[in-house]
Structure 1
Amino acid sequence: MGKRVLSGMRPTGPLHIGHWEGVLKNWVQLQSEHDCYFFSADWHVLTTDYERASDVGANVVDNVADWIACGLDPEKSVLFVQSDIKEHAELYLLLSMLVPIPWLERNPTYREQLRELRRTHVPPPLVQKINKELKSRAKKELGQRLQAVVSAPEDAEPAETLMDLLPEIEAVLSKDLFARLKQAATARDLSTLGFLSYPVLQTADIIIYKGDYVPVGEDQMPHVELSRDIVRRFNALYGETFPEPQGLLTPTPRLLGTDERKMSKSYDNAVFLGDSAEETLAKVKPMKTDPARMRMTDPGDPDKCNVFSWHKLYSSESEQEDCATKCRAAAFGCMDCKMILAENLNRELAPIRERRAALLEEPNRIKEIIADGAGKARAVATETIKEVREAMKIHG
């Protein structure tokens, strides 16, 4: 067996094909090459979604069923839930004593995620009502600024935020509408210790198993570098205890949602692993295509079509070539292209759906797999904590 690999996934909701393509396919391959520990990172959910703590437990069972349905083998990998191993919390606490706050504040991923999460998702009907009232009060320009803020692209750096606009809006908007807007704007306060220090918990998750590799995409490398910094600091203070984890860069196909935004449950633009064939077809049919192709007689450009980007993952090379040729020649319509995609996507997902359904009929089996994995993980974590206490010369 090769090196030890450690990776986790936050159980924020049902898994979709973005998780399958971006994470799970890679995990399935790694388990045949390395000593793999994969965990459901339920504590990490609370760093951003602490108000939804009651949803996490059900998501854990559902997600682990998806993992196994996708090919993860409990005989080859250790599958467990983060919160079942209390040693993660102890090591997180000890590491937090020696990590300088500026290290966390400089983390580019932290800044980007904070910016994204602070961009409040105000329900469109509420925005329309507010704009209508602002217009009636000769405040159309303020309504336009509000619209710009709530509809800003994810990767944009807004000139102003919703919180910036609230004082101006409060001065002119009816109390009821303003109260609803303010509730949306302040629904999630991320100025929390947990959110700032999640990289410390992440480091504890990795090094408590003395993980050698952490599979990541290019954008997640800052997480691994920060973990390496923390390990170096600990080893310098207390002696060589932990290996420095290495980022295992893996190819991650870019798979946008049906509306060309990031695939997400909150955007209602994802095909979930648990969707039926009919539900999958219903989601593929309205997918956005080349915007320049307004009519069937207009030639299209597959390179500008989100549907074709999905074909690259689920259709054969000959089908891709045939679809591209016909698209450019306006020889068939976008719906014909989508029907081929849906058929191929359903063919790939069919065995996953079948295994998933069988697993969910036996929830006790899933819980047994999780408990067995927790036992294996705890044995390693307990030994590591013993070494840490000895290195730090603290009681216990």
Structure 2
Amino acid sequence: MYAQRVLSGMRPTGRLHLGHYHGVLKNWVKLQEEYPCLFFVADWHALTTAYDNPQVIEESVWDMLIDWLAAGVDPAKATLFIQSRVPQHAELHLLMSMMTPLGWLERVPTYKDQQEKLSHKDLTTYGFLGYPLLMSADILIYRADKVPVGEDQIPHVEFTRELVRRFNHMYGREPGYEDKAQAAVKKLGGKRARQYLDLRTRFQQDGDEAALAQARALVGEAGSLSLDDRERLYGYLEGGGKMILVEPGVLLTEASRMPGLDGQKMSKSYDNTIFLREDPDSVTKKIRTMQTDPARVRRTDPGDPEKCPVWQFHLIYSDGGTREWVQQGCRSAGIGCIECKQPVIDAVLKEQAEMHERARPYEEDPALVRRIIAEGSERARALAEETMQDVRAAMGLSYG
């Protein structure tokens, strides 16, 4: 198997807000401590829907990267890059488009959903139809085995897994593959070789998924195999050929619980956001003027925190004691709405103070961000080229 690797990206569509932080960036900061991570600016993806207004992409890229750094994404621990700086993404997308059935793309759930949501735009474009394939290329070019996604994006990863199986089945056969695979089995040693063949039979004849997992683990633990032999044995298990592309797995992330200032989902389109590096006075004013329980017309009216958007902020930012104080004080009219909002204001400002601090060097010297991206893009290109050499060879495009 290839090394563990996490890949995730974000479209540059404007300034990032607290919904992005609690929904994505906080998770990235955690993942970079646990795995090798690649985080990229999905500028080509942004063009699939904003092809008629590329200015917003250009204006957003560097600001978004500073937001990532402000949130704690660390270029010493993760590789940060811009998609369009790694042309291998486009090459793999093109080559895979040659063998991807049209019906598979039309079946991706978000294809029709997005067309309905963005009905004011003409999305009957080749790029929009093919964006799930570009997403697959983004993952497969790095042989990333872990993709952090929400539940709504699982179909995209499943689509990628199907593509991998189709690709490996069509192009994974090398001359003399069967003989080479059997020779690789012998290299496992007598006992392990018998175990491998038994597990392979159980999977191929009975569809025993547990046997497949055991056999993969057995191959993974065999220290004496070359990378080529390991790939052959993985492919031989499933009756295919050499594994060229790697099936990605899902790292399921919790949906962001971050509400907007009006209780709806935080979104620029609803004008209910707090931006990641917003001015403290602006943040204070926004939270002070938040809607509260409509039943609390006067200070002496009791309220219900469950009906108040401010309570959703307390669930994210306040400890148990503060929440208890809110519940009792609101229901008894013992505290007013301004008092209730103050701990939220303090917590958000404290969180943002750290972000402002991290962002300052990059705001003062934009060349620092450009250097991080130049270095990250170079590392990404080197990894991507390793995959592309194998893909070109498998598809008969290596004319050395």
Pairwise TM-score range, normalised by the shorter structure: 0.7 to 0.9
Alignment partner of 2:387 out of 384, 387, 391: 384
Residue 64 of structure 1: how far off its partner (Å): 1.1
Question: Which of 127, 142, 145 is the matching residue for 1:209?
Answer: 142
Maintained 8 Å contact 1:228/1:245: yes
Residue 261 of structure 2 corresponds to residue 258 of structure 1: yes
Aligned partner of 2:319 in structure 1 is 316
Q: Give, in whole Å, the separation in 1 of the partners of 2:101 and 2:275.
A: 40
Q: 1:372 aligns with which of 366, 370, 375?
A: 375
Decide which of 139, 149, 158 is 1:225's aligned counterpart.
Answer: 158
Alpha-carbon separation, structure 2, partners of 1:350 and 1:287 = 21
Q: d(CA) in 1 for partners of 2:298 and 2:51? A: 47
**What is the DSSP-based 3-state SS (H/G/I as helix, E as strand, rest coil) of the residue aligned with 2:61?**
helix
1:19 aligns to what?
20
Deviation of 1:2 (Å):
7.1
Structure 2: runs of 5+ lacking an equivalent: 173-242
Q: Measure how far apart 1:297 and its partner are.
A: 2.4
Q: Does 1:197 align with 2:200?
A: no
Task: Identify the residue that residue 295 of structure 2 maps to in structure 1.
Answer: 292
Q: Measured at CA, do residues 102 and 349 of structure 1 come closer, stay the same or move farther in structure 2, by a change above 3 Å?
A: same
Deviations 1:244-300, CA, capped at 9 Å, x for gaps: 101101223321211223322232211001201111112112222223333322222
Report SS of the residue matched to 1:287.
coil
Residue of 158, 168, 179 corresponding to 1:235:
168
Equivalenced residue count is 328
Structure 1 stretches of 4+ moved >6 Å: none
SS at structure 1 position matched to 2:54: helix
Q: Per-residue deviation at 1:60?
A: 1.3
| Contact persistence 1:314–1:344 (CA under 8 A) | yes
Aligned-residue CA RMSD (Å): 1.6
Aligned partner of 1:68 in structure 2 is: 69
Deviations, residues 289-313 of structure 1 (Å, cap 9, x unaligned): 2233333222222122221111111
Residue of structure 1 in register with 2:363 after alignment: 360
Q: Counterparts of 2:256 and 2:40 in 1: how far apart (Å)?
A: 22
Residues 2 and 34 of structure 1 are in contact (CA less than 8 Å); yes or no, is this contact kept in structure 2? Answer: no
Can you list the C-alpha shifts for 1:125-159, whole angstroms capped at 9, x where unaligned?
Answer: xxxxxxxxxxxxxxxxxxxxxxxxxxxxxxxxxxx
| Secondary structure at 1:7 match in 2 | strand
Between the aligned partners of 1:296 and 1:106, the Cα distance in structure 2 is 54
Counterpart of 1:265 in structure 2: which amino acid? Answer: K
- Quote the residue 2:58 is aligned against: 57
**What is the match of residue 176 of structure 2?**
none
Q: Is the 8 A contact 1:12 1:56 kept in 2?
A: yes
Larger radius of gyration: 2
Amino acid at match of 2:247: E
Distance 1:266 1:23 in 2: 19
Partners of 1:334 and 1:102 in 2: CA distance:
54
Structure 1 unpaired stretches of 5+: 119-184
Whether contact under 8 Å (1:24, 1:70) holds in the other structure is yes
- 1:2 and 1:33 in contact (8 A); partners too: no
With the length of structure 2 as denominator, give the TM-score of the two structures.
Answer: 0.79
The CA deviation at 1:78 is 0.5
| Partner SS, residue 389 of structure 1 | helix
Name which of structure 1's ranges 45-54 and 11-20 shifts more when overlaid on structure 2.
Answer: 45-54
Other-structure match for 2:284: 281
Identical positions, percent: 51
CA distance in 2, matches of 1:53, 1:24: 24
Name 1:38's counterpart in structure 2.
39
